[in-house]
Amino acid sequence: MNYLFKCILLLSIFLFQTASAELADTLEKVKPSIVGVGIYTPTGHPKNILKGSGFVIANGEYVVTNYHVVSQELDEQLLQEVAVFVGTGKTALVRKASLVAESKKYDLAILKVSGLPLPPMTLAGSKYIREGTDIAFTGFPIGAVLGLYPVTHRGIVAAITPTITPVNDIKQLSMRMLKQLRDPFMVYQLDATAYPGNSGSAMYDRETGEVVGIVNKVFIQESKEAVISKPSGITYAIPVKYLHKLLKENKIKI
């Protein structure tokens, strides 16, 4: 029995190390495609405000993020523009961007970025991935106070479930929430913990690096301020099939 236990333990360690090595290899390919998304204010202090995460697709000129990351009305008097932040560390560069496609229902937005093309990620097909699939997502969970340093979380698809927004009181229900309840669509529930800055992060297959979803919200038990110290661990992601739909509707080739 003791010998069998040792064999099982060694096999578990080997499988864990193999999985970690696979993710490390995948991450090397993925990281150059991960960008920050926010607002550039030439007269502001600070000039750059990171609102969420995004990733490059297609010919390297397009970035995907959540609609709610770029839905804020810009101040024309301050010459504000949507911006994409590329690179790493304190030397990250600012690229101006324009919104070319959006879906409020699926919380998706596609930006066209100025300048030279960036390394794109590959999108998986339109079919739902299986529950239990190993995934990872990379983004900027707590912003970029010290510079642009992408962070990776890993987990599994815990469930494929209708999208809902939990509320504690019926008075918190909005017309948008009621409409969603009448016509829900299926999303991925993850066992990995995301944070507000992860909005728009690419969720990808840990082995292939193909994008299978887009992180869009985390269930917050208390206040937004408490999400860092008391994360619920319940994160949701939009399946990539809805991104394919948005791309097709706007005739953007991948």
At residue 213, φ and ψ (nearest 5 deg) are -170, 175
Instruction: Give the C-alpha separation, 244 to 16, whole Å.
Output: 33
* pLDDT at position 8: 47
* pLDDT at position 21: 62
At residue 12, φ and ψ (nearest 5 deg) are -65, -45
* pLDDT at position 217: 82
**Class of residue 231 by CB neighbours under 10 A (exposed 0-12, middle 13-18, buried 19+):** middle
Looking at the DSSP bridge assignments, the partners of residue 151 are: 139
At residue 34, φ and ψ (nearest 5 deg) are -90, 130
**How do strand 81-86 and strand 186-190 relate by DSSP bridges?**
unpaired
* pLDDT at position 126: 95
* pLDDT at position 82: 96
Q: Of the candidates 88, 108, 90, 86, which has an alpha carbon nearest to the alpha carbon of residue 99?
A: 108
The domain ranges of the chain are 134-249
* pLDDT at position 195: 87
* pLDDT at position 165: 54
127: which DSSP letter?
A: S
pLDDT tens by residue, the chain, 254 residues:
565 544 444 434 434 444 556 899 999 999 999 999 999 999 888 889 999 999 999 999 999 999 999 999 999 888 999 999 998 887 789 999 999 999 999 999 999 999 999 999 999 999 999 999 999 999 999 877 667 899 999 999 999 999 865 444 445 455 555 565 566 899 999 999 898 899 999 999 999 999 999 999 875 444 444 444 555 568 999 999 999 999 999 999 98
Q: Of the candidates 207, 212, 211, 210, which has an alpha carbon nearest to the alpha carbon of residue 22?
A: 207
Topology of the domain comprising 134-249: Thrombin, subunit H (2.40.10)
Q: Of the candidates 141, 40, 30, which has an alpha carbon nearest to the alpha carbon of residue 84?
A: 40
